[in-house]
Amino acid sequence: MKVAIITSGGDSPGMNPLIRYLTRALIENGYEVLGYKNGYKGIYNRERHTLTYDNVAGLLKIGGTILGTSRFPEFKEDPSVREHVKNVLSEDGVDLLVVIGGDGSLRGAYDLQKLGVKCIVLPASIDNDMYGTDETLGMHTALTTIQDAVDKIKDTASSHDRTFIIEVMGHRSGFLAVNAAIATGAEGVFIPEVETDVEELAKRLRKRYEEGRRNSIIIVAEGKASAKEVADLLKSKNIGYDIRISVLGHIQRGGIPVFHDRLLAFRLAMGTLKALSQNVFNVLVGVKKGDIVFTPLEKAVKNRKTLSQFLINSVYTFKWED
Ligand code: ADP
């Protein structure tokens, strides 16, 4: 049986370890493994390589993806492109396509399923915004990177009596922003899921300033506003502090995968083997409360994951509001 692997859409740290674990696990169990370059585009262009035990060596500690990834809007928009992708897979004798990617890549896999291609999706995204799993691959490393950057910014903020507005990734989800705010002790957060009370925040910052606290940090999810927009809002509120902005940008997608992302990569690889052993296809393999779970692609596509209301409610109140 021949299994093909792609990494697709936004890259996330942990994709390389997953390619390594999955390839070796499949080979150990008698499968032939192919990798197409650059996601759906590489299948379309027939850019394929055999993955071997040796050519996936050394990947555990490397960020990015050796297979490369791409955005390929033609695949989404043009049914003849999807038909061609299906035909390439069939001509190459591929029995199963494993898609490592985010929400868009999941939708692409669901479209291929509808054409009769057997697919498994392994959730990889720094945003942790995919239904059917508690964790997505790369989120742990991205949060570690953000934490490290904000800690450093706090040092300089304290030296100058400054409030820093720090913009992190997250188009539709405030997951990175809320968790980064908790980890770094930020004074405020702006996320797509809820409205921030700007007047109340401004009062809190003013009070801190008057108490002589030498720094304040505000985390903003890019999907809610830009750091500049939030800075302009606060500049009109007389908070006392000098205000600066920092946009963390693509450093959030890179770096050596941290332990938890490597462990998650291992579990997703083993989950794929479990699905194969049970003849289960067209599912997203996820991890929930520590267990490997399968969610049909159709269900994963039709549902949205929501951010923990508990975290949102309690981050600044320190009250138990379930
Ligand atoms: P991610 O997988 O990280 O969310 P994208 O949203 O860019 O990244 O999706 C990756 C690729 O998946 C796109 O370039 C496109 O080829 C395909 N794709 C995205 N959305 C859809 C969709 N709604 N239907 C079919 N294919 C899609």
Contact 48, 36 (CB under 8 A): yes
Q: What is the CA radius of gyration of the chain?
A: 22
Residue 320 lies in a domain: no
Please state the separation of Cα 82 from the chain's center in Å: 25
Q: Are residues 13 and 126 in the same domain?
A: yes
Residues 117 and 231 in one domain: no
DSSP-assigned beta bridge partners for residue 122: 100
In a domain, 177, yes or no: yes
CB-CB contact of 165 with 227 (8 Å): yes
Same domain for 57 and 33: yes
Give yes or no for a contact between 1 and 31, defined as CB atoms under 8 angstroms apart.
Answer: yes
Lowest mean pLDDT among 19-28, 64-73, 236-245: 236-245
Q: What local confidence, expressed as pLDDT, does residue 316 receive?
A: 76
Does the C-beta of 107 come closer than 6 Å to ligand 1? Answer: yes
Tokens 């590489």 -> residue = 42
Q: CA nearest 97: which of 301, 276, 274, 270?
A: 276
Mean pLDDT calculated for residue range 185-198 = 93
Question: Which of the listed residues 253, 284, 317 is the one where a domain comes to its end?
Answer: 253
Judged against a pLDDT cut of 80, whether residue 318 lies above it is answered with no
Give the pLDDT confidence score for residue 317 in this predicted structure: 67
Residue at which a domain ends, from 234, 253, 272: 253
297 C-alpha to ligand 1 centroid (Å): 14
More confident residue, 122 or 308: 122
In this prediction, residue 160 has a pLDDT band, given cuts at 50, 70 and 90, of: confident
Which ligand 1 atom sits nearest the alpha carbon of residue 75?
16
Placement of tokens 């490997």 in the chain = 292
Q: Is residue 210 part of a domain?
A: yes
Kind of pairing between the strands at 162-168 and 215-221: parallel
CATH code at 224? 3.40.50.460
- Which of 69, 76, 78, 110 to probe ligand 1 with, by most ligand atoms within 8 A of CB? 76
Residues 187 and 90 in one domain: no
User: In terms of domains, do 150 and 238 share one?
Assistant: yes
Strand arrangement, sheet containing 119-123: 48-50, 32-36, 2-8, 96-101, 119-123, 283-288, 291-296
Residue 245, in any domain of the structure: yes
Q: Is 127 a catalytic residue?
A: yes
Report how far apart, in Å, the C-alpha atoms of 246 and of each of 28, 64, 163 are: 47, 24, 11
Cα separation, 17 vs 268, in Å, equals 11
- Same domain for 161 and 247? yes
Residue 214 confidence (pLDDT)? 87
Q: Please state, in angstroms and rounded to a whole number, the distance separating the CA atoms of residues 172 and 127.
A: 9
Structure tokens at 47: 């850019």
- What is the mean predicted confidence (pLDDT) over 186-192? 94
Average pLDDT of span 271-300:
97
> Chain-wide mean pLDDT for the chain?
95
Ligand 1 mean position, distance from CA 21 (Å): 24
Structural domain contains residue 69: yes
Residue 142: closest CA among 221, 65, 253:
253
Q: How many other C-beta atoms lie within 10 A of the C-beta of residue 162?
A: 18
Domain count, the chain: 2
Q: Identify the pLDDT of residue 320.
A: 67
Q: For the residues 181-188, what does the mean pLDDT come to?
A: 94
pLDDT tops 60 at residue 304:
yes
Indicate the pTM of the whole model. Answer: 0.96
**Residue the block writes with tokens 């332990």:** 259
CA dist., res. 295 & res. 121, Å (int): 10
Domain-embedded: residue 165? yes
CA 202 to chain centre: 31
- Give the pLDDT band (50/70/90) at residue 251: very high
Same domain membership, residue 221 and residue 97: no
CB 143 within 8 A of CB 183: yes
Q: Is the C-beta atom of 21 inside 6 A of ligand 1?
A: no
Co-location of 118 and 266 in the same domain: yes
- Do residue 133 and residue 18 come from a single domain? yes
Measured in Å, residue 168 CA sits from the centre of ligand 1 at: 21
Q: Return all residues near 23 (Cβ < 8 A) that are at least 6 apart.
A: 5, 33, 35, 51, 52, 53, 56
Ligand 1 atom nearest 10 alpha carbon: 3
The answer to the question of residue 312 being in a domain is no
CA atoms of 281 and 273, how far apart (whole Å): 11
Say what percent of the chain tops pLDDT 90.
90
Specify if 322 maps to a domain: no
Q: Report the atom number in ligand 1 closest to the C-alpha of 106.
A: 2
Residues comprising the chain, all counted: 322
The angle formed by the CA atoms of residues 276, 279 and 281, to the nearest 5 degrees, is: 80
Average pLDDT for residues 42-63, to the nearest whole number? 97
Strands 162-168 and 242-247: parallel
Same domain, 61 and 132: yes
The boundaries of the domain holding residue 99 are: 2-138+257-303
Mean pLDDT of 121-129: 97
CATH number at residue 122: 3.40.50.450
Q: What's the confidence (pLDDT) of residue 111?
A: 98
SS (H, E, C) 49-64: EECCCCCCCCCCCCCC
Q: Is 123 in the pocket of ligand 1 (CB under 6 A)?
A: no
The pLDDT assigned to 321 comes to 59
153 and 297 inside one domain: no
Please say if the pLDDT value at position 260 is more than 70: yes
User: Does the pLDDT at position 322 exceed 90?
Assistant: no
On whether the CB atoms of residues 21 and 266 are closer than 8 A, the answer is yes
Specify whether 28 is located in the same domain as 105: yes
**pLDDT-derived band of residue 183, with 50, 70 and 90 as boundaries?**
very high
